[in-house]
Amino acid sequence: MVTYYGFDRQILAKTETTEGAVIAMDGTNYVDTQADIDLTFEPTINERPLVRPGMTKVPDLHSSTGLTDGAMVGSGTITMTVEWSMKTGTTPVTTAPQFDSLLKACGFEQVTGVKRAAIGAITGGPYFNRESLQVSAADAGYAIGTHFNGDSFLYYEDNGGTSSSDVVDGVVSSGQATTSSGEVDVGLAYCLNTTKGNGDGSSCTIQLYRAGKLVTLKGCRGNVAFEFVSANRVLMTFTMQGVLSSVANGSKTAAIAIGHAVPGTFNDATLSLAEHASTTPFTSALFETLSLDIGNEIALRTDANSAAGFKAAQIVGRNPTMTLNPDAVLGGTTAAGVFDFYEKWVEGTSVRAEWKIGSGLDGQSALFRAPALQIDGVAPGDRDEVEIDEITATLTGGLYGDSVDSRTPTTYYYDDRGYDNELTIVLY
């Protein structure tokens, strides 16, 4: 019988200063994980099929030059499940969560100094993600996520701020709104960014300690899948790929800094679906679970200039998909001017979606916003003997899935195929 020490493990992760170069870590880089941690790694070995006078196999060529850091040539993949838990539980959220470096390595960009203001209806069109916002020709900030005329709050990276009754104009779009209250500190946000690429400072080093063995991967990037279940904590499954740096006997890191003792749960989570022009989001559906897979495709780049044989992992494609299961009888209305869920689905209309963890402004909540969601499949299902719809959808670009390409532009990037804001997460 083999004794398996499932409890005797640690995972550390930290964003690298130089892409593909191991960065030193300590207990502050500890990541709370579930028991389902899976790590596979393999050295690079090349076959040598030489013609010889006998039948004995010629030894293959091992590419590594040693077992020390940076001298190994190989690759590794690690899968882990992480709870959505904040480190401090205080608002505004100024301390990054324990999984910060993992989100960045999955293509998310961290935004600091986020604020919000209550607004009236947005007129003239939506505010675009990263768009400059102005009050009386003075910079007020930069929009976080795309905002539509059905939104109650405007989220922005502060650069001057707003006051009650300020009229906020979008520099690029024709969006305009009047604030109905002063700004409130929120703290942090994460935006998907398809411009993330080689050398952008988002790769991370990951170290796994398991029962006396230390395995270190560098230049890691990967994919994350979110799982939301009613009255349960939110889980994220990360699948990270990187360059094999070292495998050695070692000890656990001391003085670890764990995440928040009680992670937020998927309660008070209103799901809003709305057409972009609608001021009445559809929110009356009862649903139990929602999943979102960012769908990153990863390639590990070989590099003959590196003693490790590889440069770093790269995100080379993305196909974000989502599933949800509302009651089949949605209870909505089809009155003129009101969002009709099934009509828009059959039409193939891209809609906006919003859901959240917690009630907000408590340092444990998160607001998820997708500006362009296209329903691509509905099948009948059952939940506690109540008929439900098993719905699949894809996060797309589309007419409103776009974003400006810099904070002070004169034009935005694409208005018909999307840019970098398939998803925005506001921590608040």
What pLDDT, on the 0 to 100 scale, is given for residue 389?
A: 87
What pLDDT, on the 0 to 100 scale, is given for residue 422?
A: 83
Q: What is the DSSP-derived secondary structure letter of residue 29?
A: G
CB 269 within 8 A of CB 42: no
CB 97 within 8 A of CB 427: yes
Nearest to 277 by CA among 170, 352, 179: 352
Distance CA 220, CA 239 (A): 10
What pLDDT, on the 0 to 100 scale, is given for residue 337?
A: 55
Distance CA 225, CA 231 (A): 19
SS3 state of residue 84: coil
SS3 state of residue 143: strand
Show the tokens assigned to 325: 């299961």
Residue 407's alpha-carbon distances to 96, 134, 306, in angstroms, are: 23, 12, 35
In this structure, which amino acid lies at residue 135? V
What pLDDT, on the 0 to 100 scale, is given for residue 194?
A: 63
What pLDDT, on the 0 to 100 scale, is given for residue 292?
A: 96
Q: Which residues contact 306 (CB under 8 A, 6 or more apart)?
A: 20
Residue 333 has φ and ψ, to the nearest 5°, of -125, 150
SS3 state of residue 28: helix
Walking along the chain (428 residues) 10 residues at a time, the average pLDDT comes out as: 66 95 94 87 86 87 73 91 87 93 94 94 87 92 89 92 93 91 93 67 93 92 95 94 92 82 76 76 76 95 83 91 82 58 77 86 90 88 88 82 73 62 90
SS3 state of residue 346: helix
> Tokens 């590196």, residue?
306
272-274/351-357 β-pairing: antiparallel
Residue 127's alpha-carbon distances to 28, 158, 400, in angstroms, are: 37, 15, 10
Q: Which residues, listed in sequence order, are joined to residue 306 by a DSSP beta bridge? A: none
CB 323 within 8 A of CB 390: yes
What pLDDT, on the 0 to 100 scale, is given for residue 347?
A: 79
CB 156 within 8 A of CB 114: yes
Show the tokens assigned to 219: 């230049």
What pLDDT, on the 0 to 100 scale, is given for residue 330?
A: 60
What pLDDT, on the 0 to 100 scale, is given for residue 329?
A: 66
Q: Can you count the helices (H) and strands (E) in the chain?
A: 2, 24
CB 352 within 8 A of CB 148: yes
> Tokens 């990951």, residue?
206
Q: Which residues, listed in sequence order, are joined to residue 48 by a DSSP beta bridge? A: none
Distance CA 236, CA 205 (A): 18
SS3 state of residue 27: helix
